[in-house]
Amino acid sequence: MRGGAFLAQRLVALVWVLLGISIVVFLVLRLTPGDPAMLLLGPVATVDDLSRLRRELGLTAPLYVQYALWLGRVLHGDFGRSITMHRPVLAEAFLKLKATALLTGAALLVSSVVGIAAGVLAGWRRNSAADRLSMLLALVGVSVPVFWLGIVLIYVFSVWLRLLPAGGMHSPFGGGPLDTLAHLILPAVTLGAASSGIVARITRSSVLEVVHQDYMRTARAKGLRDGQVLRRHGLKNALIPVITIIGVQMGFLLSGAILTETVFSWPGIGTMLVTAILSRDFPTVQGGVLLVAGLFVLVNLATDLSYTLLDPRIRYES
Amino acid sequence: MHEAAITRAPTAAGVRPRPDGAGRRLLRGLRGNVAVLAALSVVLLLAALAVAAPFLPIANPNTIATSERLQWGRTSDHPLGTDEFGRDLLSRLIWGGRVSLLAGVGSMAGALVAGTTLGLAAGFYGGRLDHWIMRGAEILQAFPYILLAIALVAALGPGLFHAMLAITIVGMPIYIRLIRGAVLAIREHDYVQAARAMGARNRRIVGQHILPNVLAPIIVTGTLDIGAKIVATSGLSFLGLGTQPPTADWGTMLANGQQFLSVAPHVATLPGLAVFVVVLSFNLVGDWLRDALDPRLRGA
């Protein structure tokens, strides 16, 4: 299939998936027991106030009309107002999304650097002590729960060694780059650990596949040293599947970010969502979930499209 | 001549070639594999402790003793110390393990049964049913894993059952896709066509010919999934959306202990260590099962 046709097909599928997501998000939170008008106005609201707000919000209409009205508002950028923060949900969510993007990006860097280094070492020196140690650490990485690793790192580096702050980050870049970096290290390592285990495993198997290829043997026969063979011929080919896996990890990291942010009181969208759920601030939950899910779908699409750019041998079939 | 020699040789020696069954492959994978043996022992010990918790000579996990709060060390009454309310930590770890294991296995089993049923239906019947089931799975997979679970718990209200239900729903698409793919491959095989030609009903074809052939990937994926489900349900409890106090659960114990990290690190680290060891064990056991039962997935 040609690139343009594939892109068009994916974009049509994307619209359907986004529509499906919006239906799920709408239904899940609209079918919640309790009256949204009562939640917005509080327990002291009069019956007249409640019925007026219900009419204004369209809550008296049938469910499909309510959905259409809500979707229309969302498409115009109106995600509603937060009950607890008294601000538009979209503005608040974008603000928090910056902090989440910073954390996720840093964790992705950690997982890529550590995972690729460990995987290449393990694959290139197969069955060596370094291989066994790397794969043991990768297994530990994928098995360790982020919320526990975060707590252990806080205990070691904040409570015991007093090297790094355990939390207290109020806004990204607010206290200068060094302050941001100091606050970022522990959450980024925590979030990146599991992902680096997965990247290391994929890198190892990819390197193992590449080392027996004819072009590697030819490169050695030409007299290139081991390191040169790996750098010039091995990595170029071995890292293609790894890069696509790193793209997939973005979604995994978005999920982990919600828990990591709670451990480190990181002012991101995960903390915002958990706080909103516990205070029954449904417009914020609805808007935040919709925004993150939409972002997740777009990241996945970008990852899919990057396959063809990175490896021209890959062509999509319908 | 050469062929005859080959066929006669084993008979002459009294040895008949035996099929390499799953049981033999499982046992061969265990031989000398200390890590898997240790992991199996952990899983079996945990299961035994979970079942036997009410009969063990341990303290009541919810008995508060404020005068004994945040103790650590090998005191006679509390081998693993106490938490912020003076409750016995060993007892809470055992009872918490019962809840966490139940939550993990329960959500996995729920996702497995529902996902397998939908996957079988989609793959076997195809057509419009397949289309709608797969579109539903796609939408569920379009959400980051924990995010949809959080949204569902927000709607249903916090609690262990709701957390398990949310993790079950979020976990279904993996099984739907796996089973549908396997069924699509199997339903065209000659023995399925033959059964159909002999007049076998759909229920019989699915139950006797298709399901037994997709059991191996189901068992492997299910075992590998238990660890992920324990982490997910503990994660929801850690966020305050799963098990509610005073019930012990590793996730809630960890969240409560985090506040006392500087004075009593054991309160938070021990439940987390328990989650880690159990998840690691299930991953090792799952890898072993995969290598023995479904060698095509080796290295996946």
Spatial distance between the Cα atoms of B238 and B12, rounded to a whole number of angstroms:
66
Chain B residue numbers touching A205 (CB-CB < 8 A): 299
Q: Report the 10 Å Cβ neighbour count for A58.
A: 15
Structure confidence at residue B17 (pLDDT)? 52
- When pLDDT is averaged across residues B26-48 and rounded to a whole number, the result is 88
Question: What's the pLDDT score for residue A60?
Answer: 81
What are the φ and ψ backbone dihedral angles of B31, each rounded to 5 degrees? -60, 115
pLDDT digits (tens, 9 = 90+) for A192-231: 998 899 899 889 988 988 888 888 889 888 888 888 888 8
Buried b / exposed e along B7-34 (16+ C-beta atoms within 10 A): eeeeeeeeeeeeeeeeeebeeebeeeee
Question: Who among B147, B269, B275 is closest to A255 (CB)?
Answer: B147
Q: If residue B17 lies in a helix (H) or strand (E), which one and from where to where?
A: none
The confidence band for B18, taking pLDDT boundaries of 50, 70 and 90, is low
pLDDT confidence of residue B71: 82
Closest-CA residue of A relative to B267 is A151
A145: nearest CB among B144, B152, B235? B235
**Chain B residues within 8 A of A293 when measuring between CB atoms:** 142-144, 147-148
Q: Any idea which of A140-154, B13-27, B174-188 has the lowest mean pLDDT?
A: B13-27
Q: How far is B96 from chain A (nearest CA, A)?
A: 16
3 state SS of B290: helix
Q: Which residues of A touch B155 (CB under 8 A)?
A: 28-29, 31-32
Contact A236, B126 (CB under 8 A): no
Give B16-25 contacts, CB < 8 A, sequence gap 24+: B22/B216, B22/B292, B22/B293, B25/B291, B25/B292, B25/B293, B25/B295
Share above pLDDT 70 across residues of chain B, in percent, rounded to a whole number: 90
Comparing alpha-carbon positions, the chain A residue that sits nearest to B273 is A148
pLDDT at B3 over 70: no
Q: Across the interface, which of A148, A154, A296 has its CB nearest the CB of B142?
A: A296
| pLDDT attached to residue B19 | 55
- Using pLDDT thresholds of 50, 70 and 90, give the confidence band for residue A127: confident
Give A-chain residues touching B139 at CB under 8 angstroms.
Answer: 17, 20-21, 24
Tens of pLDDT, residue by residue over A157-199, are: 999 999 999 887 766 666 788 888 999 999 999 999 988 998 9
**Pick from B146, B238, B276: CB nearest A255:** B146
Give contacts of A 178-197 with B, CB under 8 A. Answer: none
Interface with B, mutate which of A155, A201, A277, A281 (most B CBs under 10 A): A277
Q: Band of the pLDDT at B180, cuts 50, 70, 90? A: very high
Question: Which of the pair, A19 or A251, is modelled with greater confidence?
Answer: A19
> B178-203: b or e for each residue (b if 16 or more CB lie within 10 Å)?
bbbebbeebbeeeebeebeeeebeee
Q: Which residues contact A212 (CB under 8 A, 6 or more apart)?
A: none
User: What token pair was written down for A52?
Assistant: 């007026």
Q: What is the pLDDT of residue B11?
A: 44
What pLDDT score was predicted for residue A190? 95
Q: For residues B196 and B8, what is the distance between their CA atoms, to the nearest angstrom?
A: 40
Percent of chain B whose pLDDT exceeds 90: 47
- Looking at residue B297, its pLDDT comes to 53
Residue of A nearest to B140 (CA): A21
How large is the average pLDDT for residues A288-317? 76
Q: Write out pLDDT tens, residues B288-299.
A: 888 888 655 554
Residues of A in contact with B152 (CB under 8 A): 28
pLDDT at B4: 41
- What span, in angstroms and rounded, lies between the C-alpha atoms of B108 and A208? 33
Q: How confident is the model at residue A300 (pLDDT cuts 50, 70, 90)?
A: confident
Contacts of B264 in chain A (CB under 8 A): none
The predicted complex's ipTM stands at: 0.83
Mean pLDDT of A36-56: 79
Contacts of B97 (CB under 8 A, 6+ apart): B46, B49, B50, B53, B250, B274, B278
The span from the CA of B221 to the CA of B115, in Å, is 12
Is the CB of residue A185 less than 8 Å from the CB of residue A101?
Answer: no
pLDDT grade for A42, boundaries at 50, 70 and 90 = confident
**Model confidence pLDDT, tens digit, residues A91-124:** 999 989 999 999 999 999 999 999 999 999 999 8
Interface of A with B in 108-137 (CB under 8 A): none
Q: Could you tell me the pLDDT band of residue B13, with boundaries at 50, 70 and 90? A: very low
* Predicted confidence band of residue B255 (pLDDT cuts 50, 70, 90): very high
User: B9: pLDDT confidence band, cut at 50, 70 and 90?
Assistant: very low
Whether a cis peptide bond, with omega within 30° of 0, leads into B246 is yes
Determine the 3-state secondary structure of A125 from DSSP.
Answer: coil
Would you state the pLDDT for residue A52?
Answer: 85
| Band of pLDDT at residue B77, cut at 50, 70 and 90 | confident
For residue B126, the one-letter residue type is G
Q: Nearest by CB to B142, which of A33, A259, A293?
A: A293
Residues A139, B283: C-beta atoms closer than 8 Å:
yes
Tokens 């360790």 label which residue? A144
In chain B, residues with a C-beta closer than 8 Å to the C-beta of A20 are 135-136, 138-139, 142
Distance, in angstroms, between B78 CA and closest chain A CA? Answer: 23
Q: Are A274 and A260 in contact (CB under 8 A)?
A: no
Strand partners, B88: B82
pLDDT band, residue A2 (cuts 50/70/90): low
Partner residue facing B145 (CB), from A31, A139, A255: A255
The arithmetic mean of pLDDT across residues A51-70, rounded, is 83
Residue B81 pLDDT exceeds 50: yes
Cα A192 to Cα A167, A197, B255: the distances in Å are 17, 9, 21
Query: Rounded mean pLDDT of chain B?
Result: 86
Residues 151 through 170 of chain B touching chain A, CB cutoff 8 Å: 151-157
- The answer to whether the beta carbons of residues B233 and B167 sit under 8 Å apart is yes
pLDDT number for residue A173: 65
Q: Which residue has the higher pLDDT, B227 or A226?
A: B227
Calpha distance B99→B245 (Å, rounded): 13
Would you tell me the crossing angle of helices A235-264 and A177-211 to the nearest 10 degrees? 140
Question: Band of the pLDDT at B192, cuts 50, 70, 90?
Answer: confident
Distance CA A304, CA A81 (A): 35
Residue type for position A97: L
| B226 pLDDT more than 80 | yes
Average pLDDT of chain A to the nearest whole number: 85
Chain B: nearest CA to A14, how far in angstroms?
10
pLDDT at position B148 over 70: yes
**What's CA A127's distance to the chain center, in Å?**
33
Task: Residue A252: list chain B partners with CB under 8 A.
Answer: 144-145
Lowest mean pLDDT among A134-138, B25-29, B202-206: B25-29
Phi, psi of A129, deg, nearest 5: -65, -35
CA dist B264 and B69 (Å) reads 10
Per-residue pLDDT at B24 exceeds 90: no
Higher pLDDT, A267 or B300: A267
pLDDT in tens, B82-133: 998 999 999 999 999 999 999 999 999 999 999 999 999 999 998 999 999 9
pLDDT at B229 over 90: yes
pLDDT at A1: 57
Sequence-separated (6 or more) residues with CB below 8 Å from residue A311? A240
**Residue B279 contacts A where some CB pair is shorter than 8 Å:** yes
CA B204 to CA B211: how far, in whole Å?
Answer: 10
Does A38 score more than 70 pLDDT?
yes
CB contact under 8 A, B139 and A289: no
Q: Do the Cβ atoms of A117 and A192 come closer than 8 Å? A: no
Distance from CA of B35 to the nearest CA of A (A): 11
Q: Which residue has the tokens 């522990």?
A: A186
